[in-house]
Chain A
């Protein structure tokens, strides 16, 4: 029995580590935005580096898992779906890393009254990503729990849409230069995009889950 599952267990552990990396990366994203809004540049810089490390770890784990799935001809009927899932999930943490990098490069000046709104938006986007990771874990271990988590992804994506819309309205009704308004809207879009990516992956996952139970 041990022999039968030895290779399987190692690969299971790698998939779990990949999901951990994505989840932790998205938590760091939320904290990074909060640090930036507080003006704590030192802490923000630590978060930015940290998310880069998580993204790198997720990338290398994904490649290892993909190689082993193909090399050992594992799960032939769901291999394509699993690979698609891992690659799209990797795009989510890439998006989080890119957003923090944009903050670091462009250093947008966020008005004080808007800062808490950006933090709330980052939290909603982060929650969407966290529930996506939970849905992915369920896909591997408990397929019946996938819909429970997917509907939360959709909920937080809509919440992020609503918050982003409110922020943009505030921006464009404020007494600011147009260039700054556009710059602030641009960062609102950046923060919101994490939830959009999560929703895209959740859409795919819903189909994969149906295929597994059909």
Chain B
């Protein structure tokens, strides 16, 4: 994929088909498949706390991948991703509650609905870019948040909406253990789709629009079409992620989808690495684990006087928020290419050791 790769000696590419494979080498592919099997073992080995964390990571990671397609690959900026995430959650619950379509089908349908809404708010993107687009999507965030609180037929207003558990062939999924596999399935499918997208003509068009939109237009890429398409795909991912979130919790309330969540999504892709599918996953893991690690860190430090003082224990929620902001700032200053780049460097170090030049 992008960047320099570490192929073994003598492994040359002779066709474009070989050059655009999803996995660079057979070893990486096998490692990825093994990795998925290893992850699938988690519920048997680790306890419920970790299973719950994995499920959180999976729905956030799906939505974050959508944002990375928009921001990292197409170069558009969206500050309203949480609103689309929320819209997906409400849409899936609404479809399932009103029409009785099974949940497993209503999740992608909710994704499509969110894609339509995303395109609506992406319309200004046909004319504006960069900063102006950031502000337009900020407006979208507030308008959709207001809509959630207002549209009682759709969201249940301030009471929220109930979302039924997922039903697979008559087998109802209501506990973490079985939902884990649904989440894993969606995660793998959506990430494969995302990686694949970047190998197609459309994916390359996105990258061209990002790198130099005027040159892209001269080369015959329809800017409006691809910008809108990018918004639609990004919102689709957000919608699917949101729908999973809704059905996992069993209840969707209008308060959860604030600007802070939008910023967290942006934080995930920046920490992971803009324009990297693998990085998105890393960034999401980082962002979900950060508050958890801090919480256990504070409780581990409670032997000290200052860590068990009320200022720290009562203000833990604020300290976590500060940590999110700080992580974003520090990554942007010291590692703007994100964890994906760092991972690449670590691999290169081991691969080339001891002659790392």
- Do A and B assemble together? no
